[in-house]
Structure 1
Amino acid sequence: MTISRWKPNVTVAAVIEQNGKFLLIEEHTAQGLRLNTPAGHLDPGESPIEGCVRETLEETAHAFTPTALIGIYMARSSHRTGNKEDVTYMRFAFAGELGAREAGRALDEGIVRTVWMTADEIRASVSRHRSPLLLQCIEDYLAGKRYPLDLIHVDESVR
């Protein structure tokens, strides 16, 4: 008998603020065009920090240097995409510094564009958020939640 264990999907997200605006991406999803922070799934063999750097580059064409962990979040998504999908996500959200844009780099498949929005604009667009965690991460960032990166330990065996 095979025992199936529940496992959350681990994701990473970058919360990037400059001059009172946050960098978001607009992307095609099964539910239509949605907004999100630069975010994505953690790949095998990488740390959450490395995954966040990679995802930000892939989705925005910008380098990103995480400086703090904002928080670790969980949310459950249940929606129709041809068949009923029920997935729990665990998100590591990072604050950090946006670096230079990589000239000529295409955005990840499905990403339509990057957009800068104020917190109020993000609050007003909840119906277009890809994840219910988007706004919570922004609110925690605005509340000053920052934790040292060394809070996350990645054993050598991950590599």
Structure 2
Amino acid sequence: MRPWIPHVTVATVIEDQGRFLLVEELKGGRAVLNQPAGHLEPDESLIEAAIRETVEETGYDVELTGVVGIYLYTAPSNGITYQRVCFAGRPLHHDPERKLDHGIIGPQWLTRDEIIAQKARWRSELLLQCIDDYLEHPLHSLSLIRN
């Protein structure tokens, strides 16, 4: 029996005038949609990881404004358990010439309705859950995150 090891990830919900910044990426040979998200790296804070992943996957520098929530998710595709810390933020600057991470097709700005219409392309159900939590619940202070 192999040891159970949760994977710590971060994600961002970046909204601008009713549209949300998503990442179109290749996963398992198909194009899927997700929030900018990725794994926490050694010697990195959760906030640093969220900002880094967003710029690496979208080319957008962002300012984080709060914590949306903390999620525990076991992926049905591989059985791996992920602890996701999801942040809210706003876009500051976009560098369209920035080279994005391997497997990333590019950023997309979509409304909630446009996201729902593409449910078959979601990387996971956390995509809409994070957006809905952002829309329906007050944000938690970034001071909740301690290094």
Identify the TM-score tier after normalising by the shorter chain.
over 0.9
Distance 2:84 2:29 in 1: 20
Contact 1:75 1:132 in 2 (8 A): no
What's the TM-score once normalised by structure 2's chain length?
0.93
Q: Unaligned 5+ residue runs, structure 2? A: none
Number of aligned residues = 147
Corresponding residue for residue 107 of structure 1: 100
What is the root-mean-square deviation in Å for CA atoms of aligned residues?
1.5
- Which residue is equivalent to 1:86? 79
TM-superposed CA distance for 1:31, in Å, is 5.1
- Moved beyond 4 Å, runs of 4+: none
2:46 pairs, out of 43, 48, 58, with: 48
Structure having the higher Rg? 1
Most deviating of 32-41 and 116-125: 116-125
1:118 and 2:111 aligned? yes
In structure 2, relative to structure 1, the CA distance for the partners of 1:103 and 1:26 (3 Å cut) is closer
Shift of 1:87: 0.5
**Structure 1: stretches of 5+ with no match in the other structure:** 80-84, 155-159
Q: CA deviation at 1:125?
A: 1.7
TM-score for the superposition, normalised by structure 1: 0.87
Shift of 1:113: 1.4
Deviations 1:91-129, CA, capped at 9 Å, x for gaps: 111011211123531111111111111111112222211
